[in-house]
Amino acid sequence: MPTASRRDRRGDTPPPRTGGSETDVLRGFLDYLRTSIAAKVEDAPEPQVRTAGVPSGTNLLGLLQHLTFVERSVFLGDVVTDWSATFRAAPADSVADVVARYRRAVACANDVLDGCADLAAPLPRPRSLPGRPAPSARWALVHMIEETGRHAGHADILRELIDGATGR
């Protein structure tokens, strides 16, 4: 298989070089992915940002809308009753609205994580949810890295289909 020459490679933002602790590494990679997907969406053109790029109906703005709900569910304990609906932004929501809502959810999630000294301990929850114990901070971080990374890959492809933009 041929390899790309240095001249042919695109200029990506490299993965983070974080501190040596498990928490620093996990949070560093999660924040890297969060920043990447928000940037992928924030300057995408209307109406393409909300137009389905594949037969399943997946669209760029819907991916970020969904990740907002996942952040709030995992870290804050918000209950989501219809996960399919989280993939659709309201017609009245602008790209800036969805990006700002996502960044607020990330900030709230980071506030919760800032109070977690032990990755094995359950996340603190603002309210008790019967039958739904809080996950450990470690599980929540790894799950969000997986979830955000998966959808960031989808976003990479959708954005390239929209206007050819590549890179992180």
The pLDDT value recorded for residue 5 is: 38
Q: What percent of the chain has pLDDT over 70?
A: 91
Cα 85 off chain centre by: 17
Q: How far is Cα 134 from Cα 131, in angstroms, rounded to an integer?
A: 10
In the chain the domains, ranked by start, together with CATH numbers, are: 19-163 (1.20.120.450)
pTM of the model: 0.89
- pLDDT band per the 50, 70, 90 thresholds, residue 14: confident
The yes-or-no verdict on residue 44 having pLDDT over 70 is yes
Over 60: is that where the pLDDT of 6 sits? no
Query: Which pLDDT band, with edges at 50, 70 and 90, does 67 fall under?
Result: very high
**Residue 8 predicted with pLDDT over 60:** no
Kindly give, in sequence order, each residue whose CB lies less than 8 Å from that of residue 21, ignoring residues fewer than 6 positions away.
none
For 52-66, the pLDDT digits (tens) are: 999 999 999 999 999
Q: What does the mean pLDDT of the chain come to?
A: 90
Q: Which residue has the higher pLDDT, 8 or 158?
A: 158
Which long-range contacts does 26-33 make (Cβ < 8 Å, 24+ apart)?
26/119, 26/138, 26/141, 26/142, 26/145, 27/110, 27/113, 27/141, 29/145, 30/141, 30/144, 30/145, 30/148, 31/110, 33/145, 33/148, 33/149, 33/152
Residue 7 has pLDDT above 60, yes or no: no
**Cα(150)–Cα(153) distance, integer angstroms:** 5
Q: Report how far apart, in Å, the C-alpha atoms of 128 and of each of 15, 70, 104, 117, 123 are.
A: 36, 18, 22, 21, 12
Q: Could you report the per-residue pLDDT of 78-135, keeping only the tens digit for each? A: 999 999 999 999 999 999 999 999 999 999 999 999 999 999 999 987 665 677 788 9
Nearest to 59 by CA among 88, 86, 38: 88
Considering Cα of 139, then 141, then 142, then 147, what sign does the dihedral take? positive
Give the pLDDT of residue 10.
47
What does the pLDDT read at residue 92?
Answer: 96
